[in-house]
Structure 1
Amino acid sequence: MSRTRTVEAIIHGRVQGVGYRFWTKGEAERLGLSGHVRNRPDGTVAAAFSGEADAIAAMLAACRQGPPGARVTDVVERDGPAPAAGFHILHD
Structure 2
Amino acid sequence: MKTLRFVIRGKVQGVGYRHFAVGVATRLGLDGWVRNRMDGTVELLAHGDPAALDELLAACRRGPPAGWVDGIDISEDPERPPRGFRQEATV
Give TM-score scaled by structure 1 length: 0.94
Give the gaps of 5 or more residues in structure 1: none
After superposition, where does 1:7-86 map in structure 2 within 5 Å? 7-80=4-77, 81-86=79-84
Give the gaps of 5 or more residues in structure 2: none
Q: Give the length in aligned residue pairs.
A: 89
Q: State the Cα RMSD in Å.
A: 0.7
Q: % of aligned pairs identical?
A: 44
Structure 1 Cα separation of the partners of residues 85 and 50 of structure 2: 17
Spell out structure 1 runs of 4+ moving beyond 2 A: none
Q: Deviations over 1:27-55 (max 9, x none)?
A: 00000001000000000000001010000
Give TM-score scaled by structure 2 length: 0.95
